[in-house]
Chain A
Amino acid sequence: MFSMDLLLGAVLLGVLLGCFYAAVSVGLSVSFGLLDVPHVAHPAFLVMASYGVYQLNESYDIDPLLAGLAITPLFFLFGLLAYRVYHETFEKRGSDAAVRGIAFFFGIAFIIEVLIILQFGVDQRSVSATYIGKAWRFGEMRIPIRQLVAFAVALALTVLLAVYLSKTFMGRAIRAVAQDEEALRLMGANPVRIKQFAFGIATAVLGIAGALLIIVAPVEPTLDRAYIGRTFCVVVMAGLGSISGTLIAAIILGVAESIVLTLFGASWAPAISFAMLLGVLAVRPQGLLGR
């Protein structure tokens, strides 16, 4: 059933899907990649953001992307709070913080799931916008406009974050704390505050990413579980903490998944993603663009 047309279509849809994966993973690239926080609740935060967007869209008919932007400051504050609790109760208390931290964030993820169920019920929720449900014709091919929107926003988000981390003072401070926390302390800076701020940024990004998640497909309370594997896969394959690597790894994953779905069969898709991760790690243990 192979045809050049199908392959080209698969690659194109894969790039779009990949950029979407980058948007939902880039926050984790900061929190896990740069700050070494075992943030397994990242996808749960993401789904929570989607429900926030849903609520604003449903009650006030606000465009999902604007709604995502509107909840971003709240998520920044939520991120500050979450990191402070994690730091006080786990990180401060010794070397096995990461292991116990996983349990902490798993607990948070379950609590979020339950709170969403209590508030919104178990049913799927979706948003309405003019660009959802329509397609852009390109010769014989049709591309869903929602995916083009997700692609553009995801690309902008990732580039902005990369520029912020490399060009601004605070961005460089975040990279510095990732490289050598002790050195930063000796310079008289407070690494905990910088990390807290960085965690806030990583969480704030989820406001927009959550909007993209519910634009691309309907959400339900336990959807976070489907994204734990994918987001960690992207971040590890990228090389921990590399934002541009996250974009590249996500696009590779998206294209591979799309080609496999189109040409070889859907049941192979998850296996291929993780096989690629293992392949990359075997050749480059530090990831594609790792330190």
Chain B
Amino acid sequence: MKRRTFLGGAMAVAVFGQGSSAFAQQPPIKIGMSMPQTGGLAGGGKASLLGIEIWRDDVNAKGGLLGRKVELVVYDDKSSASETPAIYAKLVDVDKVDLLFAPYATVPTAPIMPFVKQRGLLLMGNFSFQVNSKVGHDMWFNNAPWGPADSWAASFLDLAQKAGGKNMALLTADQEFAQNLAVTARDVAKKRNIPIVFDQVYPPNTVEFSSIIRALKAAKPDIVYVASYPPDSAGILRAVNEIGIGDSVKIFGGGMVGLQFAAVMSNLGSLLNGVVNYNTWLPEKSMYFDGTKEFFDKYTKRAIEAKVDPLGYYLAPFGYAMGQMIEAAVNSTKSLDQKGIAKYLRENEHKTIVGPIAFSADGERKETATLQAQFRGVKDKDIEQFRSSGKQVILFPDKLKTGELITPFEAARN
């Protein structure tokens, strides 16, 4: 223990010694968070953290916040919901951080919501889905582009109906996130009088999807909405390729998790062609805002050293944007008062590298900016191809659109 204290002291001296004179007078502003760096969510967590770190370095290079250096205090939550309550209590009570960022994803975030509400703390959300819907905390702001809960299914069904889709098949994983999507998809379909001709929930250990795809094909659906998890997405697409899905299908995809990550995309290669799926950021011309290109230049370099997702489209720029929003709020309110920052975030539109962000009362986006994009002309085993535009053409939302849906699905596969 003595040795640790000594080492800690020595490191602190080294850090302060190194710091520029601009930061020498005042203690740093500490931003605390947990982040999945091991376990199932680690791939996403590491990319997200790298995005936040790039923001930290950029803001410090500009002189910090309120003239103080920004420091991140980060713990690994091992992708587990049971770790985060203790970590956030420590961040607040022991580390005495000034501001809190949430960990990546729904599962580790959900259990800290009651804590931040009870303590009246600001929490910047990081890609969780509907964690504030029951808690109702008015100091929660999610960086994800989801928007209203049903917009995800609604945007996919908009495209499907425009393409002439009249009935729907639903294939979903028996897992919380996929089931949330399925519930909203059933609701939206009901409101629009779209009959559901096939509705199957498959268990997490399903090995072989040929039988399921045969049954789905026999139902002759126009629209196929799939909410799957990474291990199954590959199995489903492979079976679709082999068994075929029928000429009736106008559009296929919607909520397939995993198809946003470089390793999975490169693994699936040409099997992806024709699939319409959700995404958050893509290298299409409509997605470049002030600073976006500079961010990815830095990310690409640092991702190689950090051994994280080489593309980093899905999470990293939103980590950076989360920092940008805090930066704007602190600079405008000229304080670290969390109520004041929350008020500023709620009442203004924020310029970020992922486009303008405005929040509704529940702390989610006022309007959805979740993309629906179609894979086109993808070759096998080539990560670099995904850096060029045209491989994932944006079909929704209208203001970011870069092309039209190719339909039916079989025609889009070539």
Residue of A nearest to B211 (CB): A261
Contact indicator per residue, chain B 221-242, by CB within 8 Å of chain A (1) or not (0): 0000000001100110011011
C-alpha spacing A257/B202, complex, angstroms: 12
Whether A266 and B206, one on each chain, are in contact in the complex, defined by CB atoms closer than 8 angstroms, is yes
Within 8 A of A (CB), among B89-136: none
Q: In the assembled complex, which residues on chain B have CB atoms less than 8 Å from the CB atom of A96?
A: none
Given contacts A1-B215, A261-B211, A262-B212, is CB(A142)–CB(B206) below 8 Å?
Answer: no
Whether A258 and B234, one on each chain, are in contact in the complex, defined by CB atoms closer than 8 angstroms, is no
Whether B174 and A122, one on each chain, are in contact in the complex, defined by CB atoms closer than 8 angstroms, is no
Whether A226 and B205, one on each chain, are in contact in the complex, defined by CB atoms closer than 8 angstroms, is yes
Q: Does A124 contact B (CB under 8 A)?
A: yes
Within 8 A of B (CB), among A132-153: 133-135, 142, 144-147
Q: Does B243 contact A (CB under 8 A)?
A: yes
Q: Does B148 contact A (CB under 8 A)?
A: no
C-alpha spacing A27/B202, complex, angstroms: 28
Contact indicator per residue, chain B 139-179, by CB within 8 Å of chain A (1) or not (0): 00000000000000000000000000000000000100000
**A-binding segment of B20-28, B263-271, B281-289, B358-366:** B263-271
Whether A123 and B206, one on each chain, are in contact in the complex, defined by CB atoms closer than 8 angstroms, is no
Q: In the assembled complex, which residues on chain A have CB atoms less than 8 Å from the CB atom of B235?
A: 217-218
Whether A258 and B211, one on each chain, are in contact in the complex, defined by CB atoms closer than 8 angstroms, is yes
Q: Does B214 contact A (CB under 8 A)?
A: yes
Whether B207 and A216, one on each chain, are in contact in the complex, defined by CB atoms closer than 8 angstroms, is yes
Q: In the assembled complex, which residues on chain B have CB atoms less than 8 Å from the CB atom of A257?
A: 211
Residue of A nearest to B174 (CB): A267
Q: In the assembled complex, which residues on chain B have CB atoms less than 8 Å from the CB atom of A9?
A: 211, 214
Which of A14, A134, A226 counts the most B-chain CB atoms under 10 A from its CB? A226
Question: What is the interface size of chain B, counting residues whose CB is below 8 A from a CB of the partner?
Answer: 38
* Binding site secondary structure of chain B: helix
How near does chain B come to A54, taking the closest CB pair, in angstroms? 11
Q: Does B63 contact A (CB under 8 A)?
A: no
Q: In the assembled complex, which residues on chain B have CB atoms less than 8 Å from the CB atom of A226?
A: 204-205, 207
Residue of B nearest to A271 (CB): B203
Whether A266 and B201, one on each chain, are in contact in the complex, defined by CB atoms closer than 8 angstroms, is yes
C-alpha spacing A9/B174, complex, angstroms: 25
How near does chain B come to A110, taking the closest CB pair, in angstroms? 14
Q: In the assembled complex, which residues on chain A have CB atoms less than 8 Å from the CB atom of B198?
A: 1
Q: Does A55 contact B (CB under 8 A)?
A: no
C-alpha spacing A42/B230, complex, angstroms: 24
Residue of A nearest to B206 (CB): A266
C-alpha spacing A198/B249, complex, angstroms: 52
List, sorted by A's number, 9 A–B pairs whose CB atoms are closer than 8 Å.
A3-B218, A17-B207, A17-B208, A133-B271, A135-B243, A217-B234, A220-B231, A265-B200, A270-B203
**A residues neighboring B (CB under 8 Å):** 1, 3, 5-6, 9-10, 13-14, 17, 121-126, 128, 133-135, 142, 144-147, 216-218, 220, 223, 226, 229, 257-258, 261-263, 265-267, 269-270
Could you list 15 further interchain pairs (A-B, Cβ under 8 angstroms) beyond the known A3-B218, A262-B211? Answer: A9-B211, A14-B211, A122-B43, A123-B263, A128-B380, A133-B241, A142-B243, A216-B208, A223-B231, A261-B202, A261-B212, A263-B215, A266-B203, A267-B202, A270-B205
